[in-house]
Amino acid sequence: MIRLAQTSASPLSIIPLQDILDLGEEARMNVPGRKGRNWSWKFSWAELDS
């Protein structure tokens, strides 16, 4: 999906950082219908070095 977004005719594509970093469920930002613990994932700049 990322490759498809980047090769589309659109001049802009938005890809979630969790997908770029190839992270799993632990980095999920929001789970619809779940109270609490949403929007708590944060990245560190060190993760971008890899």
Q: In this predicted structure, what is the pLDDT of residue 50? A: 59
Write out pLDDT tens, residues 2-45.
999 999 999 999 999 999 899 998 888 888 998 888 888 888 88
Q: In this predicted structure, what is the pLDDT of residue 14? A: 94
Q: What is the 3-state secondary structure (H, E, C) of 12-47?
A: CCCCCHHHHCCCCHHHCCCCCCCCCCCCCCCCCHHH
Q: In this predicted structure, what is the pLDDT of residue 15? A: 93
Evaluate whether 22 touches 43 at the Cβ level (below 8 Å).
no
Name the DSSP letter for residue 48: G
Q: In this predicted structure, what is the pLDDT of residue 48? A: 84
Q: In this predicted structure, what is the pLDDT of residue 7? A: 94
